[in-house]
Amino acid sequence: MSELRKKHPEVGTCVELFAGGGGLAMGIHNAGFRPLLVNEYATRAIETLQTNEMPGGGKWPLKAGDVRTLVEDFKKLDGQVDVLAGGPPCQPFSLGGAHKGTEDERNMFPQMFRAIQEMRPKAVICENVQGLLRKSFNPYFQYILNEMRLPFIEREAGATWEEHNEVLEKLLANDSVPSFERYDVKYHRVNAADYGVPQIRQRVVIVAFRADLEVGWDEFEPRGTHSDESLIHSMREGGKYWDRHKEVDPEARARAIANLPKLDLDNPKTKEKLALQPWRTLRDAIHGIDEFEGRSLPFVNEKAVNEKEQVGGISDHFGWPGARMYKGHTPNLLDRPAKTVKAGVHGVPGGESVMMTDDPAFDGSGYRYMTVRETARVMTFPDEWTLAGPRGEKMRQLGNAVPVKLGKVFADAVAAALHSVEALKKPGGKR
Residue 86: beta bridge partners? 17, 126
Q: Is 355 exposed, middle or buried (0-12, 13-18, 19+ CB in 10 A)?
A: buried
Q: How far apart are the first and last CA of the chain?
A: 44
60 Ramachandran zone, left/alpha/beta (phi>0; psi -120 to 50): beta
Residue 125 backbone phi and psi in degrees, to 5? -125, 120
H/E element, 86: strand 83-86
DSSP assignments along 168-195, one per residue: HHHHHHHT-S-GGG-EEEEEEEEEGGGG
Amino acid at 223: R
Catalytic-role residue among 19, 28, 46, 90: 90
| Residues facing residue 205 across a β-bridge | 127, 188
**Residue 221, helix vs strand vs coil:** coil
| Pick from 241, 247, 246: nearest CA to 260 | 241
d(CA 422, CA 83): 15
Name the amino acid, one letter, at 71.
V
On whether the CB atoms of residues 402 and 127 are closer than 8 A, the answer is: yes
Distance CA 338, CA 375 (A): 9
Q: Whole-angstrom Cα distance, residue 357 to residue 360?
A: 7
Exposure of 430 in the CB half-sphere (CA atoms within 13 A): 0
Length of the chain, in residues? 431
- Would residue 14 show up in a list of annotated catalytic residues for this protein? no
Active site residues: 90
